[in-house]
């Protein structure tokens, strides 16, 4: 395996790679587990129990083989229990972190409710210090359902898989861990690059501030210290700017690209009367995503995007990767096939995935998992979780695009419905309020309202059809011309093309497998490698011939359960020669 140029702060399998402390207590592994089919656990005070009758391997959901249970019968309420020995230390706090649990999570320590979180895809944390003894019992209840107004992505809303919807995910599906901190500590940290000033802006929140606190942030590149700034803590939320211009470097500043993923090591020190009380390792980068007419620019350089759609499913563990190595393998395979970007589809990945995109150089699109029924409750749940997602992941230089909705899922009448159109506009502008450094797409595929990049889904099976449709992009984006797939317009009524870059963000999707009767894919199934490559190269060449198109995204990286249109099988075996795919993508 090729050696990776890892940040100085790297710890294998560390779940929060942009804010690393050495006090890492991994709570993954065997937990007690119980199904609560009748939802009697609250009434019967299961949170006071000292054991449950089953065992589960966290962080794998009970529907998977990796969990040790592999039960497909739906259960809306499940319970977990873990025993934890911990010796309290003077002046120290213990923070319990969950990287992701689906959907409503209640956390108890020694029979007392610590806190509740709603949402499936983001990190949440509780300070459990005041609830601790020397021997402790952590009990977690997760509540999930088939509710269509709940953000669920590709999780099915029925007892069986159908079309391109798959097994649901209930309960803990990302790492559970704890960390020890001081009474005052850095609670949150984000960074964003200011390209024209050769600087990075750090925003931080400090818990339990006092007059004698200061924060020092320093950056280095390949072992050479570049900049350091120390600032007195006068309010709990503040920001600090670090100029990364190095007068000893011919280039001055090292920018981040997919082909040259330059990262700066960062050290954050929180001090009390000059003494270090919190030490954090991180990294940052200088990158800029802008447009010039129909071109997409990275650091002012035009880039043609050759991307692959990835739903992030794994053998035996569904949405949960088993290790850093599985994530690294996926990023490496994408790059070996000649892709420079990935559209993570209907899933908010384990943060380590975006970390390795940062490290290895791969542009990433981050997409909100969809609900499927528009109502006021949907609006509230989507926006609450979407803003959490953006705040958690926005510091990753590899993430270039936020996708608010996909194919009008959850907003099925956005073409004409002013309320649903307002929903997409709200999502667009709220993301812009949090992050001005990345692109935002209102509705990937069709029926756009406000989008920085116009994205279109089209599973045409030949290059001549692509040229016919997209040779004149202005005509194609006019609302008088509808999409061939589902007869959808490119823009919702009342909105129009403004000369933005255009990307075919779904195409190909060629079904190719061993002939399973229940398998699913787009278009006519192919039966040989030669047939696959001929169709794939022909349609891709058709896109290349459309000079106003700024890139494409192939469906998809791997097969997923009954969906067989992957370039790889679910266990990452190539269906096609890697070198042939790279040749096609390198044109």
Return residue ranges of the chain for CATH 2.60.40.10.
185-284
Residue holding tokens 């497909």? 72
Each residue of 35-45: b (16+ CB within 10 Å) or e?
bbeeeebeeee
Indicate the SS3 state at residue 465: helix
What integer pLDDT is reported at residue 478 of this predicted model?
83
Residues of the chain with CATH 3.20.20.80: 289-585
> Would you list the DSSP string of 359-385?
HHT-EEEEEPPP-SS-SHHHHHHHHHH
Q: What are the distances in angstroms from CA 226 to CA 212, 249, 270, 352?
A: 27, 10, 19, 26
- For range 382-409, the mean pLDDT: 98
Per-residue pLDDT at 3: 81
> What pLDDT is recorded for position 486?
62
Q: Mapping DSSP to helix (H, G, I), strand (E, B) and coil, where does residue 469 land?
A: helix
Q: What is the mean predicted confidence (pLDDT) over 408-419?
A: 97
Q: What's the pLDDT band for 512 if we cut at 50, 70, 90?
A: confident
The number of C-alpha atoms within 13 Å of 160 and in the hemisphere containing its C-beta is 3
Q: State residue 251's pLDDT score.
A: 86
Stretch 161-187: mean pLDDT = 93
* pLDDT, average across residues 393-408: 98
Q: Which of 83-97, 117-131, 505-519 has the lowest mean pLDDT?
A: 505-519
Looking at domain 185-284, what is its CATH homologous superfamily? Immunoglobulins (2.60.40.10)
Alpha-carbon gap, residue 256 to 287, rounded angstroms: 5
User: What percentage of the chain exceeds 70 in pLDDT?
Assistant: 97
User: What local confidence, expressed as pLDDT, does residue 524 receive?
Assistant: 77
Average pLDDT over residues 439-445: 97
**Lowest model confidence (mean pLDDT) among 98-102, 119-123, 159-163, 224-228:** 159-163
Of 16-25, 33-42, 477-486, the one with minimum mean pLDDT is 477-486
Q: pLDDT band at residue 88, thresholds of 50, 70 and 90?
A: confident
Separation CA 291–CA 439 (nearest Å): 9
578 sits in which H/E element: helix 578-585
- Domain 289-585: which topology? TIM Barrel (3.20.20)
- On whether the 28-174 domain is CATH 2.60.120.260, my answer is yes
69 band by pLDDT with thresholds 50, 70 and 90 = very high
Please give the mean pLDDT across all residues of the chain.
Answer: 95
- DSSP class of 2: P
* pLDDT at residue 1 tops 50: no
Higher local confidence (pLDDT), 56 or 165? 56
In this prediction, residues 270-296 reach a mean pLDDT of: 97
pTM for the structure as a whole: 0.96
Of the listed ranges 5-9, 509-513, 555-559, 577-581, the one predicted with least confidence: 509-513
What mean pLDDT comes out for the span 529-546? 96
- Percent of the chain scoring above 90 in pLDDT: 89
pLDDT confidence band for 9 (50 / 70 / 90): very high
Asked if 24 and 280 touch (Cβ cutoff 8 Å), the reply is: no
Residues in the chain: 587
Distance CA 368, CA 370 (A): 6
Q: How many CA atoms lie within 13 A of 163 on its CB side?
A: 7
> Which DSSP letter does residue 434 get?
H
Residues in a beta bridge with 510: 522
The pLDDT of residue 2 is 56
CB neighbours of residue 389 within 10 Å? 22
Residues 81-89, mean pLDDT to the nearest whole number: 94
**Is residue 122 over pLDDT 70?**
yes
- The whole-number pLDDT of residue 482 equals 57
Instruction: For helices 418-434 and 376-393, give the axis angle rounded to 10 degrees.
Output: 20
With 80 as the cut, is the pLDDT of residue 305 above it? Answer: yes
- Mean pLDDT calculated for residue range 348-375: 97
Confidence of residue 438 (pLDDT cuts 50, 70, 90): very high
Distance between CA 302 and CA 277 in Å, rounded?
A: 45
In this structure, are residues 504 and 539 in contact, taking their beta carbons and an 8 Å threshold?
no
Dist CA 285 CA 236 (whole Å): 25
Enumerate the CATH 2.60.120.260 domain ranges in the chain, comma separated: 28-174
Report whether 532 contacts 576 (CB < 8 A). yes
Mean pLDDT of 189-201: 96
């Amino acid at each position: 395996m090729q050696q990776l140029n890892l940040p100085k702060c790297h710890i294998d399998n560390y779940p929060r790679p942009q804010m690393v402390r050495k006090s890492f207590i991994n709570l993954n592994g065997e937990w007690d587990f119980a199904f609560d089919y009748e939802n009697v656990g609250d009434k019967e005070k299961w949170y006071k129990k000292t054991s449950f009758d089953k065992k589960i391997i966290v962080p794998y959901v009970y529907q998977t083989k990796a969990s040790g249970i592999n039960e497909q019968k739906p259960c809306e309420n499940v319970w977990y229990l873990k025993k934890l020995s911990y010796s309290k230390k003077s002046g120290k706090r213990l923070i319990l972190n969950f990287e992701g649990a689906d959907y409503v999570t209640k956390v108890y320590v020694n029979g007392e409710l610590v806190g509740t979180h709603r949402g499936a895809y983001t990190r949440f944390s509780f300070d459990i210090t005041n609830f601790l003894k020397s021997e402790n019992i952590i009990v977690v209840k997760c509540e999930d359902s088939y509710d269509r107004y709940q953000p669920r992505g590709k999780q099915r809303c029925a007892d069986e898989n159908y079309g391109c919807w798959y097994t649901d995910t209930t309960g803990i599906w990302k790492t559970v861990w704890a960390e020890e901190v001081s009474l005052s500590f850095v609670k949150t940290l984000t960074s964003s690059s200011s390209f024209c000033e050769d600087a990075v802006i750090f925003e931080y929140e400090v818990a339990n501030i006092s007059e004698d606190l200061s924060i020092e942030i320093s950056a280095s590149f390949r072992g050479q210290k570049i900049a350091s700034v120390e600032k007195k803590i006068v309010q709990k939320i503040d920001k600090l700017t670090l100029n990364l211009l190095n007068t000893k470097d011919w280039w001055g500043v090292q920018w981040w690209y997919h082909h040259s993923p330059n990262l700066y090591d960062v050290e954050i020190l929180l001090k009390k009367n000059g003494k270090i009380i919190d030490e954090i390792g991180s990294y940052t980068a200088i990158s800029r995503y802008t447009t010039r007419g129909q071109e997409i620019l990275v650091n002012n350089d035009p880039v043609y995007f050759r991307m692959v759609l990835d739903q992030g499913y794994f053998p035996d563990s569904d949405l949960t990767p088993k290790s850093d190595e599985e994530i690294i393998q996926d990023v490496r395979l994408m790059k070996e096939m000649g892709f420079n970007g990935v559209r993570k589809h209907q899933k908010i990945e384990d943060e380590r995935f975006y970390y390795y995109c940062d490290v290895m150089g791969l542009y990433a699109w981050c997409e909100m998992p969809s609900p499927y029924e528009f109502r006021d409750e949907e609006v509230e749940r989507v926006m609450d979780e979407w803003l959490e997602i953006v705040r958690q992941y926005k510091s990753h230089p590899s993430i270039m695009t936020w996708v608010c909705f996909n194919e009008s899922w959850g907003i099925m009448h956005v073409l004409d419905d002013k309320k649903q159109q307002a929903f997409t506009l709200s999502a667009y502008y709220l993301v812009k309020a949090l992050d001005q450094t990345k692109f935002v797409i209102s509705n990937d595929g069709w029926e756009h309202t406000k989008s920085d990049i116009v994205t279109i889904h089209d599973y045409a099976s030949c290059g001549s059809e692509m040229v016919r449709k997209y040779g004149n992009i202005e005509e194609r984006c006019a609302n008088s011309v509808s999409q061939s797939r589902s007869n959808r317009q490119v823009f919702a009524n009342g909105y129009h093309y403004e000369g933005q870059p255009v990307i075919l963000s779904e195409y190909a999707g060629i079904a190719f497998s061993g002939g399973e009767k229940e398998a699913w894919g787009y278009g006519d199934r192919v039966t040989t490698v030669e047939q696959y490559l001929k169709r794939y190269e022909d349609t891709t060449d058709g896109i290349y011939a459309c000079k106003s198109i700024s890139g494409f995204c192939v469906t998809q990286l791997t097969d997923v359960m009954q969906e067989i249109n992957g370039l790889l099988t679910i266990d990452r075996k190539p269906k096609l020669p890697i070198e042939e795919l790279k040749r096609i993508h390198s044109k």
